[in-house]
Structure formats: C-alpha cells, structure tokens
Structure 1
Amino acid sequence: MDFLTLPKRTSGKRTYGLTSIIDLGTPMGELMNNLADYSHLIDLAKIGIGSAYVTPNIKKKIELYKEFGIKPYCGGTLFEKCFYQNKLPEYKGYLHDLGVEWVEISNGTIDIPLRERLHIISHFKEEFKVISEVGSKDSDKIMPVEEWKEEINQLLEAGCEYVITEGRDSGTSGIYEKGGTVKSELIHELLKEIDHNKIIFEAPSPKHQMYFIKEIGPNVNLGNVKLQDVLVLETQRCGLRSETFYMEDLECKLP
C-alpha cells in the first residue's frame, strides 16, 4: 500500500531515469537471485571493460539479462580493442551471435578522433542501438568544457541513443578529479545546453549518485552502478535516505 508522498519516478520501459549497472564478473547464480528481486530497478547492464570476451557462459548471461527486461551491452574497452586490431567487422558478428542489441562506442583508452567515431557510429547504428562515451580514463588528461559540449552534441546528432560521461568504475577521471570529487563546474556547464535525459552520468558510488540526484533530480540517468547498490540508489531517488530526505516531489529539478 502506497501512503507516502515521494518524488515521481519513471517506470516500465524507461527512456530516462535510467539505472545502468556494471557487471565485472557477477556469478550466474548470484545474478539470478539479484535480478529476481531488483530487475525492475535496472535498465541497462554493461559487461564492464573487456570482460565479456573472457566471461564464462557469456551468452547465457546476456540471455538472462534480456529475460528480465534489461538491455545488456559490452564495455567500450572491448570496442576499442577491436578497433585497435582492425576487427570491427568481427566485433559486429560477435555481438550478433551473443544477441546483444546495444553497443558502446568510446575512446577512453585510445584516442579515436571524433570524426572517425562519428563515421563508425553511422555504420553501427544500422544494426545496433548506439551509446557513445565522452572523456578519458587518463585522470591527467584535461578536456576543455567546450570540447565536452561539442562532442556530446555531435554524438547525439549522429544518432546515439545516449552519451555516457566518463568516470571509470572508480570515479577518479573524466567528470571527476583524481580524488573522486565531482567537477561541478563542468557538470553545470553541460546542463545549460544539453538535454540531461540523453546523458548517462557514470556514478560508481552512493556519494557520486547523491550528487547527481540533488543537482538534477530523482530521474537522472546514472551508470557504473554496482549491482549491490541498486536498492540503495532507488532509496536515494525516492527521498528515503537522510541525504535526500527533503527532496522536492518533482519529476526533475531542472526546467
């Protein structure tokens, strides 16, 4: 029975308010148990880094996610490895064989010029839903705000469903300082001109997740969420944790 007044959450087949988890080797039995209870809180599942290539029973894992209505995809590092070795046609075949319908195009480890990424996206989007990523995994690499904006806008215009802002699974690069602090000025500048519903902010810890919930609202798209944190995240989104206790009953704080 619902009797509390809580922030309005998107549900069902969400197009925003997404929770994207990172799977870095969750055993099948453990995954089954978690999805049985929490699958309705999860929208996307990234088989993190290049782990899909060496994950036992990867096809069964992909099928399990899809059975629970979750969209699985492989981490961008695997795409970059295939690009580096000139194996993109083979990568397409691999994804089709797995039954994966989403693909991440990134340049977090190697520098792939934007023009070339846009060209790759134009080919992949004919067969897959494309997510792209902006930002480097190198915490020493500084990317100007205008470059962030330009890349995100061009990637969305090229047909990407969403753009991920790099943060790593440690929250120490991309949109974060080395010590894990959010680059808040960068975030504020991005939100001035770009539809936040088309951005997935990598937020690997509850602290990072709370920042974006407070800044944008309960229906912010969040990525690199650990499976064990899914329920805690939903609790935060619903104003049921001390740090978000007084969150307004609005779909989103931004106009």
Structure 2
Amino acid sequence: MNYPLNNIPERPVKPRNKGITMVMDKGLSLRQTEDFIDVAGIHSDIVKLGWATSFVTPNLKEKLAIYKSAGIPTYFGGTLFEAFIIRNQFDDYCRVLEKFDMEYVEVSDGSITIEHDLKCEFIQKLSKQVTVISEVGSKDAAKIFAPYKWIKLMQAEIEAGSWKVIAEAREGGNVGIYRGSGEVREGLVDEILTQIPEETIIWEAPQKEQQVWFIKLLGSNVNLGNIAPAEVIPLETIRLGLRGDTFDHFLDLAKL
C-alpha cells in the first residue's frame, strides 16, 4: 500500500486460496492487457477469457504469455468447453488446452444439458492434467434450482476434483444466484453455505451492489468472480472498507 492506515482488514498475499478476485477479460487488446496488469494485476488472482472469446481473439498466445509473465493464471470460459462437448469434440478440446499450455479449465453446463454424472467424469479426467474450476447453475433464467440441488451438484463436483465451484450469475449478474433484477437470492446463498465451505465457492458478482452484499456477509476475503478489469481497484477498496458502501463495516469505532 502507498501509505499507512490503521484498522484495515487483512488480505492474504498471492497466490491465495481465499479472497480471490476472478476477472473477466471480454477481449482486451495486448496493450490493454499490459495496462490492466500494470494497474490492477497485484489485486487480480485469476483471469477468465469470457465465454468463447478465445476462439476469435487475435494474438491469443501472446496475450496468454503476458498474463503468465505477470503470474496471473488464465482459463477459457466454460461456454467454450460446452461448444466442444455439444459437437462431440472433447479430445479436440484437450488438445486445445495442451496447445495453449493452459493450467486451468472451466467445466460448465450453463448453456447445454449434460448428465451430471458425465459432467463429473469430465471433471475427473481434466483434473488429472489441469486445475478444474466447475460452474453450477444455468444461464437460462427460467431454470431455477432448489437449494438442495445446488448443494448436491456442488458437493459432487468438488468430490470429482474441482478446485473451486462457481455459482452462476452470467456476465450481467441476473440469473442463477440472483433474481432478474440483480437482487441476491439470500435464502439460496444461506442454504448453500450450510453445506459447502465458503472458501470453495467463487460467487459471480459483476455488480457493485452484489460485491458489497457478499463482502458484508462473508468478509473481505470472500471469493468473487466476473469482475470487469476496470472494477478490480474499486472492488479492492470495498474489500478494505475504503469506499462508502463498507466504510464503517470493518471498523471497531469503540477502539478508535
């Protein structure tokens, strides 16, 4: 930090297992990637190249190399995995991971229907060669899962080999763990947390109000995902109680 300030929540140093900020790169140029890392790389734990943007991103290898040289792991969005699976190209997908030297992968079924046992088989296979992050929840707003089902799916995917499980919200933060308005399904989150360790979950929270809600519920070191590159610094100030939304949340005013 640039100067001393007392009563600031403690953040673990990178690489960290808790307090993760997962950033969504939707198509930054090489220069924008370098600028992003220069400003916010220190606060970014992992970067997702959103949905299947890697298929059309120019200079992909060079871009991945920039992130790697900065010590920031990357992975392709789960929609790309689904695009290969629905075309019966799992082996081709594995070759893509090898070609681009990917160390992380997202396994999801938000856009297609995959039998859950089969999804867990994909997780098991991939976890032997890469770190798997799996996503639970549908991108279809009409598909609403009961809390017990979220818990069952998450537990099975962790047992299959997932390092973290993502709670689906899409880029807009208006499906899955959120209502169409962006409001958190509080009862759902509470139920999930009764069975799934919080450090195992990455909550997609692209909207500031959603970030604030989770930080107030679970503290500075909650795992949050789908953060826009320009919002990484603002999010870090929310985590530290240095923005109006959480300004007095972490302060013990009686000791000041």
Q: Normalising to structure 2: TM-score of the pair?
A: 0.95
Mind listing any 5+ residue stretches in structure 2 that lack a counterpart? none
> Runs of 4+ in structure 1 displaced over 4 angstroms?
none
RMSD: 1.1
Indicate the residue corresponding to 1:100 in structure 2: 102
Task: Return the alpha-carbon distance in structure 2 between the equivalents of residues 233 and 11 of structure 1.
Answer: 16
Shift of 1:12: 1.8
Indicate the residue corresponding to 1:117 in structure 2: 119
- Summarize the alignment of residues 25-40 of structure 1 with structure 2, pairs less than 5 Å apart: 25-40=27-42
User: Is the CA contact (8 Å cut-off) linking 2:14 and 2:45 kept in structure 1?
Assistant: no
Shift of 1:249: 6.2
User: Is the CA contact (8 Å cut-off) linking 1:135 and 1:165 kept in structure 2?
Assistant: yes
Amino acid at match of 1:178: G
User: Is the CA contact (8 Å cut-off) linking 1:166 and 1:173 kept in structure 2?
Assistant: yes
Task: Return the alpha-carbon distance in structure 2 between the equivalents of residues 116 and 138 of structure 1.
Answer: 20
Matched, 1:15 2:17: yes
Shift of 1:243: 1.2
- Summarize the alignment of residues 190-209 of structure 1 with structure 2, pairs less than 5 Å apart: 190-209=192-211
Provide, for residues 59-105 of structure 1, a one-character-per-residue CA deviation record: whole Å limited to 9, x for no partner: 11111111111110000000000000011111111111112110000
> For residues 249 and 198 of structure 1, do their structure 2 counterparts lie closer, same or farther at Cα, with a shift above 3 Å needed?
farther
SS of structure 2 residue aligned to 1:152: helix
SS of structure 1 residue aligned to 2:162: coil
Amino acid at match of 1:80: E
- Summarize the alignment of residues 52-63 of structure 1 with structure 2, pairs less than 5 Å apart: 52-63=54-65
Mind listing any 5+ residue stretches in structure 1 that lack a counterpart? 251-255
Task: Return the alpha-carbon distance in structure 1 between the equivalents of residues 182 and 32 of structure 2.
Answer: 29
User: Is the CA contact (8 Å cut-off) linking 1:175 and 1:182 kept in structure 2?
Assistant: yes
Indicate the residue corresponding to 2:239 in structure 1: 237
Indicate the residue corresponding to 2:158 in structure 1: 156
Task: Return the alpha-carbon distance in structure 1 between the equivalents of residues 244 and 173 of structure 2.
Answer: 22
Task: Return the alpha-carbon distance in structure 2 between the equivalents of residues 53 and 228 of structure 1.
Answer: 23
Indicate the residue corresponding to 1:140 in structure 2: 142
Aligned residue pair count: 250
Task: Return the alpha-carbon distance in structure 1 between the equivalents of residues 251 and 162 of structure 2.
Answer: 31
Amino acid at match of 1:27: S
Indicate the residue corresponding to 1:74 in structure 2: 76
Q: Normalising to structure 1: TM-score of the pair?
A: 0.96
User: Is the CA contact (8 Å cut-off) linking 1:239 and 1:246 kept in structure 2?
Assistant: yes
Indicate the residue corresponding to 1:90 in structure 2: 92
SS of structure 2 residue aligned to 1:224: strand
Indicate the residue corresponding to 1:253 in structure 2: none
Shift of 1:211: 0.8
Amino acid at match of 1:85: R
Shift of 1:33: 1.1
